[in-house]
Amino acid sequence: MKNELTMAVLQNMNKHLNNDQLKNLNEVLEITLLYYNVEKIEENYDDTNNNQIIKLFLSSKRVEGCSNKSLKYYDFILNKLLFNINKNIINITSNDIRKVLDNYQKSNSVTKVTIDNNRRVLSSFFTWLEQDDYIIKSPVRKIHKIRTTKIIKETISDECIERLRENCENIRDLAIIDLLISSGIRVGELVKLNISDVDLINKECIVLGKGDKERKVYFDAKTKLHLEQYLLSRSDNNDALFVNLQKPHKRLNIAGVEIRLRNLGKKLDINKVHPHKFRRTLATKAIDKGMPMEQVQHLLGHTKVDTTLQYAMVEQNNVKIAHKKYLT
């Protein structure tokens, strides 16, 4: 057991000392431990303490303004992964995290993107532990961002957008499509809109984005016209901008928007029609036409410009034109 203790100390000090210093440390440990009995104490795993630490972390994120959806995601990931490690949180190592991420990927056949999202949650958690002095150094520091395959995501062509518009069965769905494609708002922002949030005269509205941050977005004249027609057609007293078609005309939810668009896309044989695709299309067009990146970032409500770049895919046809112009 003394040899095991000596080797453990030497391994931990290996990156801090040179070979001569390690030899001296080894001699000191051997001499010192001659006068002591060494016994290894098995770690007493305390699930209750782990749960308390996770709750404190979630409380801190709530104070910082994280949404309930994000908090539930953090809670799910942390409990799922840390339960499988089966150790007190403050004693978890980099290798423990590598093993649990590797096992999770193998047993669930999830993508590298999912694994990296899990890594990011763990990084946020252990960084908080480090900052609040629960641990000396986050074990996730040694685990780098997981390389993922970059997939070029599709946008919606002008032709497909017109086909969707022409085949809407009611003015509400037409107004939804127009607002999504002209403003680039998230579907979650769209369903939260109230009539009072919309300024039809100036063709703008105030949306509540991620982290409960308000921002102003803009729409075109076509959207204004269809919103006016939709509002005039309503006979209910609901404050929501978009409501269900059937009585009692409750506020339309995210699933309702997604289902209507998906079914319309299938009917017209248009591939994968969903709200986020409209947002990506707007970002791509804006950058492609020369809108400054920081303005696109503000328009979409992104905290970091890197997020904006991920949404915007440069039109391949324009790359071909630029190649011909500058390189041939």
* Mean pLDDT, rounded, for 43-72: 83
Please indicate, yes or no, whether residues 71 and 208 belong to a single structural domain of this protein.
no
- pLDDT value for 210: 77
Mean pLDDT of the chain: 86
Q: pTM to 2 decimals?
A: 0.66
Both 293 and 218 in one domain: the answer is yes
Residues 214 and 255 in one domain: yes
What number is the average pLDDT over the span 20-44?
Answer: 78
Residue 277 within any structural domain of the chain: yes
Are 10 and 123 found together in one domain?
A: no
Write down which residue in 85, 117, 142 finishes a domain: 142
Q: What is the CATH number of the domain that holds 164?
A: 1.10.443.10
pLDDT of 316 strictly over 60: no
Position 17 scores a pLDDT of 82
* Residue carrying the six token digits 């453990």: 8
Q: Is 205 helix (H, G, I), strand (E, B) or coil?
A: strand
Q: What is the mean pLDDT of residues 236-254?
A: 93
Domain around 114: 50-142
Same-domain pairing of 121 and 78 = yes
Each residue's pLDDT tens digit, 71-121: 999 999 998 888 888 888 888 889 999 999 998 888 888 888 889 999 999
Tell me whether residue 292 is in a domain: yes
In a domain, 151, yes or no: no
- Report if residue 184 sits inside a domain: yes
Give, to the nearest 10 degrees, the angle between helix 275-288 and helix 293-300.
160
For residue 327, is it within any domain? no
Instruction: Report the side by side order of strands in the sheet with 204-208.
Output: 198-199, 204-208, 214-218
Q: Is the pLDDT of residue 305 over 90?
A: no
Same domain, 303 and 162: yes
246-272: average pLDDT: 93
CA 129/CA 141 separation, integer angstroms: 13
pLDDT at position 323 is 53
Please check whether residues 67 and 188 belong to one and the same domain.
no
Share of the chain above pLDDT 70, in %: 89
According to the model, what pLDDT value does residue 308 have? Answer: 79
The answer as to whether 90 is a domain residue is yes
Same domain, 215 and 309: yes
Q: How many domains does the chain have?
A: 3
Question: Does 152 fall in a domain?
Answer: no
Regarding whether 300 and 200 lie in a shared domain, the answer is: yes
> Looking at the domain assignment, is residue 149 inside a domain?
no
| Residue 54 shares a structural domain with residue 21 | no
Inter-axis angle of helices 112-131 and 94-108, nearest 10: 150
Half-sphere exposure of 201 (CA within 13 A, CB side): 1
* Residues in CB range of 167: below 8 A, 6 or more apart: 264, 267, 268
